[in-house]
């Protein structure tokens, strides 16, 4: 009993539930980046976005959402400029919203 309580105390506390897909992870990270504008959160967003781009390069994904890959690569370019503080938060948020519209999550596609 004491050992299990000690193990629980030593585990890091998650601030949010783990992402269930590259889509969820990328868009959560992008929103965090836009909200905080910290280098670390924007680097994480860049990493997650690249993983989503790789996921969207699969043939079946390109067939289902033909405009998604273009929206994500445009967002990737804007994020790079944003990280250099040469782009506004509003423009980044608009690009995130546009990419989210072109790249619906798998769960959204199932519910339609």
pLDDT band of residue 54 (cuts 50, 70, 90) is: very high
Q: At 57, is the secondary structure helix, strand, or coil?
A: coil
**CA 88/CA 8 separation, integer angstroms:** 42
Looking at per-residue confidence, does 108 or 87 come out higher?
A: 87
Residue 56 contacts residue 103 (beta carbons within 8 Å): yes
Residue 83 contacts residue 49 (beta carbons within 8 Å): no
Residue 15 has a pLDDT of: 47
Residue given tokens 């992870």 in the structure block: 25
Contacts of 106 (CB under 8 A, 6+ apart): 21, 23
Residue 48 contacts residue 26 (beta carbons within 8 Å): yes
Tokens coding 37: 């504008």
Give the rounded percent of residues in the chain with a pLDDT score beyond 90: 67
Give the pTM. 0.75
Tokens coding 58: 């699969």
Residue 20 has a pLDDT of: 72
**CA 47/CA 92 separation, integer angstroms:** 16
Domain ranges of the chain: 21-103
């Amino acid at each position: 009993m004491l050992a299990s309580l000690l193990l629980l105390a030593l585990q890091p506390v998650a601030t949010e539930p783990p992402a269930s897909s590259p889509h969820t992870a990328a868009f959560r990270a992008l929103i965090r980046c836009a909200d905080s504008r910290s280098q670390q959160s924007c680097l994480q967003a860049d990493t997650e976005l690249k993983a989503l781009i790789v996921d969207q390069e699969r043939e079946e994904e390109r067939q289902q959402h033909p405009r998604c890959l273009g929206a994500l690569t445009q967002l990737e370019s804007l994020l790079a400029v944003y990280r250099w503080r040469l782009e506004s938060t509003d423009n980044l948020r608009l690009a995130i919203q546009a990419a989210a519209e072109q790249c619906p999550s798998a769960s959204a596609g199932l519910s339609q």
